[in-house]
Amino acid sequence: MHKPHVVIIGAGYGGIMTTVKLQKLFGKGQVKITLVNKEDYHYQTTWLHENAAGTLHHDRTRIPIKEVVNMNKVHFILDTVVSINPIEKKVKLENNELEYDFLVIGLGFEKTTFGIPGIEEHAFSIENINSARLIREHLEYNFANFHHEKVKDNARLNIVIGGGGFTGIEFAGELINRIPELSAEYDIEKALVRIIILEASSTVLQGFDPQLIEYAMTSLGSRGVEFITNASIKECTSDKVVYEKDGKQCEIPSKTIIWSAGVRANGIVEQSGFGTKQGKVEVKSDLRTPDYDDVFVVGDCAMIIDKKTNQPFPASAQIAIQQSSVVAHNIKALIEGNATKLFEAKSLGTVASLGHQDAIGVVLNNRKVFGWKASVMKKIIDNRYLYKLGGLGLVLKKGKFNFFY
Ligand SMILES: Cc1cc2nc3c(=O)[nH]c(=O)nc-3n(C[C@H](O)[C@H](O)[C@H](O)COP(=O)(O)OP(=O)(O)OC[C@H]3O[C@@H](n4cnc5c(N)ncnc54)[C@H](O)[C@@H]3O)c2cc1C
């Protein structure tokens, strides 16, 4: 008898949680489940800014897939997806080709540079474990070189963050924690190190509550972060960033430019011929694509419109995780000939960290939280995810318990 073949591509929040839920919903041998990912680990994207700053080792962020996926029920393929052919129901991998009955696309996001010269070549971005690790090493390399070179080059100590959104702000918060340690290690006066956020609009953290924005700017500002708003980056080179403000071109000498101003859905989705809006598939209420009833999309590759605002929900791990339950349920329903259920996003709030003991956020019932309480809440959210993915054992292994330091 033909066993339905469910293929999940991408082991990010959406993909791995769908896999874990499917393996619980089906008994061994009822369906064939295949998970494809380009690394043999899952990583928590929401922790990458800590790895990039060097305040948290990346081994805490990545979780070997075999530790959370039941290899007796799921066939894991370590490979890179090249394209999808939804008409022939095939996924092309670099080293293989798969046929599916149901496909779950969870390939996440990639950076977009808006064609700004030099970003691709010279700026760094916080995208995955490899890019985060590179930033950490690059920071150390520049600090080490500062005294090693005959002529002191301040560009080595100027860290410029392009984009004051969620990622840029969280990264700045971590850097503040890291700089004293780095400065001490490389005998550099702390005051020589600059952290500068360049933001194109009139405020950082656009879309956040104004009171929370003010809190974040005051908190980070008092710890040395410089904000330059209404500043659009025009070019990056290996040792400077050029931006325009008030009609004037300005420059900051810097060898470390972190681009955090633009991400888009993984280009494979659009290139494979799915109908997209801003690179994402506007999925039906049961999370299937409008054109292919056997293809589900989760996470940053999916667009869901918030009926209250008529705007797409912002890409978030929270939504990706919520979607995974509905996708797993719906795959089972379709296999058993039942009706699918509809997805309704529930906003459980958003918390942005501002370093180890500080954060801002809006939680249930639109309640604003600041400072250490928000920081504790953020760590609880992180631990809660680990619990959902791998139970208490995973929380004890990878969880965050540094609530008050
Ligand atoms: C620094 C930072 C902080 C954030 N903080 C928060 C937060 O606090 N709260 C929140 O809700 N959201 C946050 N986000 C956003 C959140 O991380 C994303 O919305 C979320 O990761 C999307 O999940 P996903 O399942 O779509 O894909 P991802 O988690 O991005 O995973 C995609 C997976 O696909 C794999 N993959 C990609 N391409 C291929 C390929 N060609 N072949 C095979 N495998 C492939 C990748 O290796 C990865 O495993 C943050 C993002 C960043 C960068």
Residue 53: what are its φ and ψ, rounded to 5°?
-75, -20
Domain locations along the chain: 5-111+264-347, 119-261
Does ligand 1 come within 6 angstroms of the Cβ of 107?
yes
**Identified catalytic residue from 67, 127, 137, 170:** 170
Residue 347: what are its φ and ψ, rounded to 5°?
-80, 115
Contact by Cβ (8 Å): 166, 352: yes
Contact by Cβ (8 Å): 400, 379: yes
Of 70 and 403, which is predicted with more confidence?
70
pLDDT at 183: 97
| Best residue for ligand 1 mutational test, from 316, 369, 381 (most atoms within 8 Å of Cβ) | 316
For ligand 1, the distance from its centroid to the CA atom of residue 201, given in whole angstroms, is 25
Domain 119-261 has CATH 3.40.50.300: no
pLDDT tens-place string over residues 69-125 = 999 999 999 999 999 999 999 999 999 999 999 999 999 999 999 999 999 999 999
Using CA atoms, how far apart are residues 175 and 256, in angstroms rounded to an integer?
12
Name every residue whose Cβ is closer than 8 Å to that of residue 375 and which is 6 or more positions away in sequence: 353, 354, 356, 357, 358, 359, 403
Catalytic, 88? Answer no
For ligand 1, the distance from its centroid to the CA atom of residue 101, given in whole angstroms, is 25
Does ligand 1 come within 6 angstroms of the Cβ of 315?
yes
What 3-state class would DSSP assign to 227? strand
For ligand 1, the distance from its centroid to the CA atom of residue 12, given in whole angstroms, is 6
Residue 22: what are its φ and ψ, rounded to 5°?
-65, -40
pLDDT at 250: 98
Provide CATH code, domain 5-111+264-347.
3.50.50.100
Same fold, 5-111+264-347 and 119-261: yes
Residue 1 has pLDDT above 80, yes or no: no
